[in-house]
Each structure stands twice: as C-alpha cells, then as structure tokens.
Structure 1
Amino acid sequence: MRFPGKSAMYALGVLVSTVLPAIADPVVVKDVTGRKVEVNVPVKHVILGEGRQIYFLAALDKENPFEHVVGWRDDLPKADPESYAAYLAKYPDIAKLPTFGGMKDGTFDIEQAVALKPDVILMNVDAKTATEEAGYIEKLAKVGIPLVYVDFREKPMENTEPSMRIMGTLMGKEKVAEDFITFRAEAIKKVTDVLEKNQPPRPLVFMERAGGYSEDCCMSFGNENFGKMVELAGGTNMAKDIIPGTFGTVNPEQIIASNPDQVIVTGGMWEGYVPGGNWVGVGYGADITEAHRKLENLTMRPAFTGIKAVKDGNVHAIWHQFYNNPYQFVAIQQIAKWLHPDLFQDLDPEATFKELHARFLPLDYKPGYFVSLKDK
C-alpha cells in the first residue's frame, strides 16, 4: 500500500478544512452583570430575549443578522413596526421565527426555548430579577444552555461597549464589533471635544419619555440613558436630581417650577400599543409633517403651560428606540445640535446615521427620526 506524500496530505487537510464546518470552541464570557459563562463560540443558534436586540446583531452582520436566530421575543413589531417591516421585506423568513413573551411579565416559555436547542440565550439585564426568581438560569444549565446578559437600556453609556464585545465574541464577529465601537466613540467625540473646548452655558432640558403614550405626565430619565445623553450633549438634565435611577416620573408642577429651556420628547409609531394615541410618530421613514403636528399638540398639556421651552419653540421629538440600542451616538449628536446650534452648525447627525447604515447595517437609511417645532 502506498501512503500519500506530504503535499497530498496537506492538500487533503485543506480540502477537509474547507468542507467541514468550523468546530465551536468553549469560551468563558463575562457578561455585564459580572457572571462568567461558558459558551461554545461562534454560536450557531441564538434566542434573543428581546426582539430589539436585532439592532445590535444587525450591526455585527450586515449580510444576514437573522442567520443564527432560532427564536426571539415578540416586541419588535409593536415597539418599532417600521423597522420590523423593513427587515421583514428583506428577510421574509423572520415571519416564521418562533416568538416568546417577556421574562419580566412572566410569559417567557422556557420549555419552548429548550426545544429550540439554542447555543445561548441573550437576555437584557433589566430582566435579571425575574429570571433569577424563576430559577431559569439553573433550569437552563441542567440542559446545557447558557444565558448571557447584555445591556443597552439601564446603563447604556456604560454597558454598550462591553455588550457589543460580548456579542462580537458570541457571533465570531470580534473585528466588526471593534470597528463599530471605534465609529461610535469617534461620533461622540465630535460633540464632547467641541464642548470641552468652548465650555458653553448648559441649558436646562426636560427629557420626556414616551410623551403622549398615556394620559399621565410625565415619565423621564434620571442620570442615565437619555438623561446621560443630554449631559454629554451639553445640557443639564432637569430630572437627574429628582429621579434616583434610570427611569422615573416627575409631576407637572415640577416642570413648571423648573421652567426648562428645552424639551425633548421621545416618540415612536405605537399604534400597536396605543391605537390613535397622542405619541409622536418618529422613526424609520416617518411622516415628519404628522409628527410635527402631534408634537405641537403635546405642548398644550398643563405641564408645559408658560414654560420657556414652549415660548421659544425649543421643543423637539426624537426616536424613542435610541434608548435601547447601540446607536445612541446619533441621538447625542442631534441633541447637541438642538442645544447648541451655533457651536454645531457643521455637525450632521443625519449623515452620521447614513454612514452607520452604509457601513454596518443591512437596511437602507430612511429619515424620520427627529423633529422640532422650529422645523418648517
């Protein structure tokens, strides 16, 4: 019997390596809660504990962000119907993906999740308490399914970068994750460097969360999320000393007494949640004329009676989902432009968002994410 020479053996090795799929390697991932979790990477099957996690998965895989998704929470079609429709048009098979309820509201189906045999379940950190109380981590561990926490909502300015790195490791997209992180940091520096150099006065800003979503007034942000974005953009967040955590409420009397210089309302197309509601429908390809009308309508509420921001026309609306994805740097640029128009005449948040889409995202860019009473 003749044995193949070294060159033939090498050729055979190359052939096998190109034909057989790469074997996943166990890696210990440290999630945003500090837990060390062993996961076989790159993962081939992932369950998204929130549908809106596709925002950052898309930033890591421009060609097909759904390729390895075997199930996801059912929130995206209602929370952001325009983006869902755009993804559905490009990837029609997502209509067949199994969907889950939320962990926090107790409608997550762990038996269904186990049946899908995921390599990892990705969960937002705000579901941590509910997850632990239900004993899901231990139950999943018994069948060899790891759960990893990420965060783009509770402390996004602190946890976005590590969350993107975690996702890059899980999906085998480490280089893309680092490129995105660099792009994000450079976009934020275009704001913070100018502010540091010029030290302008900081206007007082009331940041209203989901204005018009309900009749109650008014939800806002403490010293994180949009509250921190306001500070990074050169403003003073009115609610930072009123709300101890990330989210909370302020009463109308506090707004009137504080007399903010600027008001920024977060909005979205929430017909699926609150049909015919007073929310401001900004977002992917939104009707800005209609959004402007609804924004103006919100200024007539008692909480805004006679305040400086309304008198001066410094009332704006911005896409709510910036609070829950890694694209917050676009929001920081836009807020800076509203707060300091003279300093940031040359800053173009729209161009930044277009570049993000062109470089990282599978969807073509459509405007509609911002509106101001000053827009004509």
Structure 2
Amino acid sequence: MTLFTRGLASAALFLGLTLPATAEITVTDLRDRTVTLEKPAERVLLGFYYEDFLAVTGPGAVDRIVALSKSPWADWRPGQWAAYTAAFPQLNDLPDVGDTESATFSVEAAIAARPDLVLLAGWQYDALGENVAQFEAAGIPVVTLDYNAQTVEKHVLSTRVLGAVMGQPERAEKLASLYQSRMQDTLDRVAKAGPSAKKVYVELAQKGPDEVGNSYGKGMWAGVIEMVGGQNIAKGQIENWGPLSPEYVLAEQPDIILLAGSEWLNKPAAVLLGFGADPALAQDRMAAYLGRPGWSELPAVKAGEVYGIYHGGTRALSDYVYVRYIAKALHPDAFADVDPAAEIADHYHDWLPIDAAGIFVVKYE
C-alpha cells in the first residue's frame, strides 16, 4: 500500500495536506505502476468507478471530466445514469470513447478529447493491453484503480491514489478511513457473533423466475458472503459465476436467499432495484421468484429470510453497506443497531452530489 511523491509533494501527501497546484505528484497505482503528474488532473478521461471519482474529487468533479467510457454507466446502471444526468445534463454531451467489454474502446477518440489523465479500472487496463502505450506516446498519464478486488487494502489504496491525482488527499483520506472503520466494525461484530451455520443462496434476479440466473462461487456476492461468515451454497459448484440447478438449490435448503436486482431495461420479470425503483413492484417481482416449485418449503422462505440487494452495490466505496446488510441477515443480534438503508442514504448525502433516491436493500414482506 504505497503512495509516493517527490520533494515537497511527498511531505504534503504524507501529512494529508492540500498540494500546491504546481506540485509534482507521483503515485504507485493498482497495477503497481509508477505514474507522475505535473499537477492535479483537470481534464480526465473517466473509464469506470464513476461515483467513486465523484465522491473523492468532490465539488466540481463533473466539470473535470472531458470524456467517458459511457456504456458501463449508462447501459449497466441506467437508473443511476438518469439520476446523474438529471443533475448534470452536461454528462450527456461528453465524448463517448467506447468500452473494453464490447471491444469498442477507441484510444484515438480518447486522445482526441485531450485529457491530462486517463483513469481506468484495472480490468479495463488489462483489456487494452499494448494499446495503453498510445496514451504514453501522446504524453498522457494512465492511472489504474481497483475496487473490483473486494479487499479493504485495495479499496483504501485506490481511494488514496485517486485523491492524490485529483488534488484531494484530505478528502480521500476521510473516505478511506470511513471505509476502513466500517469494515473493521463489521468484521469485529461478525467475530464476536461467532461462526454461522446458515446457508446462503444468491441469484442474479435479471431473467425472472422461469429461468435460473447466475449465482457466484467466487468474487462478487460470494466474496461478501464468505467475508461475513455465511455458508455460500454455490461455493465449489461454480468457479466464478453461473446458474445452479433448481434441484441442487432445493436440496441445499438455504436459510437465506438474496435476490440481486438492478435497473435493467427491457427485462419484464427482473427484480428492479436501484435508482428510481418502485417498492411495490420490487415486492411483486420478488414474490414471483418465491412461487417457483418447491420454494415455499425452503427454510429461507418459511422464516421470511428473503432479501433484495442492489447488484450495482458491490465493488465501490459504498459497498461496506451491502457487506453489513448481508452480515445483519446472518447475525441479526450482532447488527441490531445497524441500519444499512440509512447508511447508504448517509453516504450519498455526505459524499455525492445527488441523493440515493431509490431502493438499494429490501426485505421481502
């Protein structure tokens, strides 16, 4: 977890001070690359981690974006995109440089936007491969972040690196400290509660009850379940993600069911959660899943332990909220005073330029 600067910049960042505009900044990014900026970035090509960029950079952050990899925001989280473009219509007018997932990312279009910094997720950097050299040849620094790793260490380092390159080390340190403290509090409560024998089944509730959606053997929700002491029934059955057979789920008799919902468009049977979600519709869509053959006899359904959780909530600075939500389902007494819905509202109020207007965690009633 290393953050280096030179001369005066080194001392200033170490102490968490605001750097002079002319101070040279050197960071070690999340692909262990040493990158130097002459000063905090003013013209950013933003590849991913849009809300984390806004949270760390603070007021005026949108004005410092000159181009976007738009699809992972507008297409993956359309409700979130709609909320931000309503508040900041200029986002609609920014050049879209494509995305690495669909192999449409254009380095030429990115360079044409004249950024003084390219911010990429680690997975975007990996996908671009040797093409990154075109940015370097054009004299444009590239910095990688990695909230996808789902570790406290990399969340904190990503936040500090982002704060350094955007000239906001103090704000970044406050966010990093908040994340560390909430995660440590969560792990302390889990440890005090002791091991849980509860079995957990998570399903990506995108396709509707007639077709089985993905579960997670490693990473994503699997990583969270393991972190807070749950017994993930997909572990050992799926390498990363994929569907479990209905027969297997019934045989495992899960004690907790998590339906991961999002803001999907043109998915008429999906559990819709996130920005702009309707509480009554969310309950109706969850109820449809519980009508599957045999589900009425599952321990989770009989005990009322079925939850909806926002699929866009993992792998971000606010994901401690979703960790705590699952931990509370597993250890209700240990988390009796924790209100994850209030915590997500507080995160937006304190750190982001819009409110969390929607449903992000919900229990089936």
Fold match (TM-score > 0.5)? yes
Gaps of 5+ in 1: 1-20
Q: Which of 78, 102, 109 is matched with 1:105 structurally?
A: 102
Distance, in Å, in 1 between the alignment partners of 2:78 and 2:211 is 24
1:70 partnered with 2:66: yes
2:55 paired with 1:59? yes
Using the alignment, how far apart are the partners of 1:107 and 1:302 within structure 2?
Answer: 42
State the match for 1:48 in structure 2.
46
Displacement of 1:93: 1.4
Deviating more after overlay: 102-111 vs 22-31:
22-31
* Alignment-derived partner of residue 12 in structure 1: none
SS in 2 for 1:104: coil
Aligned position for 2:7: none
Match of 1:294 in 2: 285
How well do the aligned residues superpose, as a CA RMSD in angstroms?
2.5
| Partner residue in 2 for 1:198 | 193
**Cα shift at 1:215:** 6.3
1:238 aligns with 2:238: no
Mapped partners of 1:36, 1:64: distance in 2? 27
Give, in whole Å, the separation in 2 of the partners of 1:143 and 1:301.
56
Query: Cα–Cα, structure 1 residues 148 and 62, in superposed 2: closer, same or farther, change >3 Å?
Result: closer
Measure the CA separation in 2 of the matches of 1:144 and 1:41: 14
Which TM-score applies when normalising by structure 1?
Answer: 0.84
CA-CA distance at 1:154 after TM superposition: 4.2
Aligned position for 2:164? 169
Shift of 1:317: 0.9
Q: For residues 181 and 22 of structure 1, what CA distance do their matches in structure 2 show?
A: 22
Larger Rg: 1
Moved more, 224-233 or 206-215: 206-215
TM-aligned CA deviation for residue 24 of structure 1: 4.4
Structure 2 CA distance for partners of 1:220 and 1:148, relative to 1, 3 Å: farther
1:120 aligned to 117, 120, 124, which one? 117
Q: Distance in 1 between matches of 2:254 and 2:37?
A: 48
Residue identity opposite 2:26 in structure 1: V
Q: Is the 1:269–1:281 Cα contact (8 Å) retained in structure 2? A: yes
* Cross-structure match for 2:317: 326
Are 1:185 and 2:173 matched, yes or no? no
Q: Counterpart of 1:145?
A: 140
The one of 348, 352, 355 aligned to 1:357? 348
Are 1:357 and 1:363, in contact at CA under 8 Å, matched by a contact in 2? yes
- Number of the residue aligned with 2:361: 370
Which range moved further: 301-310 or 97-106?
Answer: 301-310
Change (3 A) 1:215 1:77: farther
Contact 2:196 2:330 in 1 (8 A): no
Offset of 1:113 from its aligned partner?
0.6
Give the conservation status (yes or no) of the 8 Å contact 2:273–2:358.
no
Cα distance in 1 for partners of 2:204, 2:255 equals 17
2:28 corresponds to: 30
Equivalent-residue separation in structure 2 for 1:301 and 1:24 (angstroms): 62
Deviation of residue 72 (structure 1)? 0.7
Counterpart for residue 84 of structure 1: 81
Give the TM-score, by structure 2 length: 0.86
1:56 deviation in Å?
0.2
| Distance (Å, rounded) in 2 between the aligned partners of 1:87 and 1:213 | 28
Task: Name stretches of at least 5 consecutive residues in structure 2 with no aligned partner.
Answer: 1-18
Deviation at 1:173, TM superposition (A): 1.0
Shift of 1:324: 3.5
How far the C-alpha of 1:121 sits from its partner, in A, is 1.3
1:249-260 alignment runs, 5 A limit = 249-260=243-254
1:174-202 residue CA offsets vs partner (Å, 9 max, x unmatched): 11111011112222233222222231533
Q: CA deviation at 1:231?
A: 2.6
Tell me, what secondary structure is at the counterpart of 1:71?
strand
**AA in 2 matched with 1:192:** L
Contact 1:54–1:65 (8 Å) recurs in 2? no
Matches within 5 A, 1:190-229: 190-212=185-207, 216-229=211-224
- Contact 1:205–1:262, Cα closer than 8 Å, also in 2: yes
Residue 269 of structure 2 is aligned to residue 267 of structure 1:
no
Matched AA of 1:96: D
Does the CA contact (< 8 Å) of 1:261 and 1:309 recur in 2? yes
Q: CA deviation at 1:341?
A: 2.4
Contact 1:214 1:277 in 2 (8 A): no
